[in-house]
Structure 1
């Protein structure tokens, strides 16, 4: 075929014209093969119709002409990818200036999909909840704090008990909330302060010779009973026992329950009845008290059920490479500056650092801007190295943290968009349900394809009345037997716009735009 012949393309109702020579520059694409092999293009006044999105077509034709693919920035990345796949053009050909925008669209969509997968609740739908038994619904209420009003109340109670447990764990270590027992005094097993009178004990002696107040111990036992009942209830009502036992969270809860029970056992049974106890028993008691700090982990496990905490975990997981890079950079610089400052102090014969490890400790504390001050350089060279270490630390620490913060912001923004979309969907469903119920009481009007042709069907002139098509919207003017224009049918919405019965002198015989119909309806309302 003649390479200068014009080719007419009808893409989604929009006409595009180019030459066969332009299309043949890329023979491996869909349009390139059509321009080379199709015999229909050679026919005069012939156009090729494609039921595709026309917004990207100008960019594609420019790609055939110039060899560079530039895309509009207001089109979704998935739409671009789908259209390029149809026209058989690789995504990698997109020019560098436009690829970032395309990648951002896809990246946001991928993040939204990841959030949906991570936040998906298998029992979120009402139909799935109704399949559960009454016992299983109790488990679901305890596991999902945002499920219903009862689950929200339960989560508040659980948080309050956990907070009270952590608070009591800290209060009982203070001597203000402990009472002395003289039968616990045993000065042969512990060091006594020598600078003062023998009656004054060190903190270890005071702590070992005292117990928390009885009301504190009673509340601790009540909290232990609460957690035992909570764990047992979740285990009994769980619909999948194997899945329950595979979760690390549940084993952690069991460990905390056993720990609290053993702490009370050591304090109440093993130690109270003894006149004295050894330092090994005291160290065991301190070890169990140290494990009490793990109670706060219950809050984090409970907070994982909230979307914001999950987004924090997602952004942290997505930034693992940045964390690894940060750790490698800090360790490398700490080794370099630690060895340098140790060598500088050694040459100056100040001996401020005992080894390279001491210098690395100083470098890490300096780079993180903590400035602990236990070891510091004294020589001028060591101080210069310390200043350079501080400057490098600010730069190395600031850049990865900015990337991590940007990651969290991106995930959080997509979470807010997801929540707004879900609210809109819920609101739309509510409106549809309302209008569906409102239409139940109305008289059903007959609707046939003859009266209301579907969208996209070509209309013809009937009875001297003109029907027109404008930009994919079919406009039909229907008249009744009394020569009154009763309504205008738009194929895009398929519903009546003028049920009031417009008079003939107020509405013209045919209209082509929705604005004219609205004006006629307003005139009829005024006359009524």
Structure 2
């Protein structure tokens, strides 16, 4: 105070670390604390403040930090209470950057707030997985050097990237119709009304008689149907058309694929190769039967039926639609990310099924249906999954009580991992929805721009 002039002068606040109080200005918000409080956690940025620090403002007598004041309030409370609690209205990544700046170890975060950082890490892992698995990593965007390179890229995008153009989308739907038709034919050709009697020549009749003599089960309706009849000609030729389309598509897809080595690393491409190869082998075997070139025998027919049964792998072509329907790919990613939960589910079911099956074997010792422990384990699996075929059932009070506990245990064991898998799917689906919305905002044309611009320039 200036007594002579009667004017009161404000004394400048001194926040030097040698004094007791410290003034901190964080993003325009002023905080007051003491040096003793800041020294509670040595090794951190605030505990190392001094007058020579680059953050010290001598004019205002304060330490200035251009950081988030909301996050800093929690960090300052950590010095006061030794408990680090995080605000829920900030992103976990932002909080992690603040902790790194203030040199506060993440391990100091209280257990009640660890969920925030865990969800952030989990969300980042999901986003990284979506960006890695769903990106167009096979796209070649460098300038084409020849007209063949231009057409190669165009055909590749047309066949492999349904979202690249309207024509590609139309072809994708047409290809879907061929897949559906192939699946329907595969199923309907086993219906007796969709089959006709075989027109047999002499060689085929002799071979068929030999086969009928070798077959021990004369009442096998399926075997009798296969021997005496064949699919209707319309269905037969429709199947050939579908097989031809799949073959041509596979060949063109391989020729135009930018990286041939990566083509053979894709599971669905191998499914296409196997199913197309089996389809033609089955076709030539059937033609050989019809022309009498291949003599029917039990061994030949076993090989034929084996290839015919493996031909069901053609249904895996439905997963090719994952390029068009991203929800299908998200579902596969969610299942893949839940391998641990699925393994735990399988392991738990097998352990409990073995335990309950063994108990049931001895509880139903007088029941001839439960003659072995493996049969009892089969009954336990059917009971735990609530299928209940009714082929095996307990008759004693002990067996029924064990069956009750087996069914209830199955409900609990199945419910818990499935809930986790559903949560993973919801996480992937919601994240992908946000990702797709962001992509639509920028537009597919922006992602395809380099390829499109290259075509225009070259043409």
| TM-score where L is the length of structure 2 | 0.83
Q: CA offsets per residue over residues 339-395 of structure 1, 9 Å max, x none? A: 11111122xx33331111111111111101011121211111111111111111111
Per the alignment, residue 9 of structure 2 pairs with none
Q: Cα deviation per residue 1:99-143 (whole Å; 9 max; x = unaligned)?
A: 212322332233222211221113669x56878622122112211
How far residue 248 of structure 1 moved from its aligned partner, in angstroms, is 3.4
Take 2:107 and 2:49, find their aligned partners in 1: how far apart are those partners?
A: 23
2:406 aligned with 1:389? yes
Decide which structure has greater helix share: 2
Q: How many residues align?
A: 421
Q: Pick from 335, 339, 362: which aligns with 1:343?
A: 362
Task: Tell me whether 152-161 or 417-426 shows the greater mean CA deviation.
Answer: 417-426
When structure 1 is superposed on structure 2, of 272-281 and 10-19 the one drifting more is: 272-281
Equivalent in the alignment of 1:171: 188
1: distance between equivalents of 2:105 and 2:276? 59
Residue 417 of structure 1 corresponds to which residue in structure 2? 434
TM superposition shift of 1:75 = 0.4
Verify: 1:247 aligned to 2:247, yes or no.
no
Instruction: Check whether the contact 1:165–1:220 (CA below 8 A) recurs between aligned residues.
Output: yes
Change in CA separation of 1:261 and 1:276 when aligned onto 2, cut-off 3 Å: closer
Matched-pair contact (CA < 8 Å) for 2:384–2:407: yes
Give the C-alpha shift of residue 2 in structure 1. 6.7
With over 3 angstroms needed to count, the CA separation of the structure-2 counterparts of 1:274 and 1:234, relative to structure 1, is closer
Q: Which runs of 5+ in 1 are unaligned?
A: 430-528
Tell me the residue number matched to 1:224.
243
Q: Deviations over 1:437-463 (max 9, x none)?
A: xxxxxxxxxxxxxxxxxxxxxxxxxxx
Q: Distance in 1 between matches of 2:71 and 2:325?
A: 41
The structure whose RCO (Cα within 8 Å, separation 6+) is larger is 2
In the other structure, the counterpart of 2:416 is 399
For the pair 1:327 / 2:346, whether they are aligned, the reply is yes
Match of 1:446 in 2: none
Q: Secondary structure of the residue that 1:133 maps to in structure 2? A: helix
Which of 118, 134, 137 is the equivalent residue of 1:119? Answer: 134
1:31-430 aligned at under 5 Å gives the runs 31-35=46-50, 45-122=60-137, 133-181=150-198, 183=200, 186=208, 189-190=211-212, 202-273=221-292, 277-303=296-322, 306-346=325-365, 349-426=366-443
Paired residue secondary structure (2:96): helix
Hey, what's the Cα distance between the residues in 1 that align with 2:271 and 2:251? 14
8 Å CA contact 2:271, 2:313 repeated in 1: no
Shift of 1:409: 0.8
TM-score normalized by the length of structure 1: 0.73
Q: Give the structure with higher Rg (CA).
A: 1
Cα distance in 2 for partners of 1:350, 1:213 equals: 48
Residue 26 of structure 1 corresponds to 41
Asked whether the 8 Å contact 1:20–1:35 carries over to 2, the reply is no
Distance 1:182 1:116 in 2: 57
Gaps of 5+ in 2: 1-15, 447-459
Q: Distance in 2 between matches of 1:40 and 1:249?
A: 59
* SS, match of residue 246 in structure 1: coil
Whether the aligned pair in 2 keeps the contact of 1:342 and 1:356 (CA below 8 Å) is: yes
Partners of 1:425 and 1:237 lie apart in 2 by 28
Q: State the Cα distance separating 1:292 from its structure 2 match.
A: 2.1
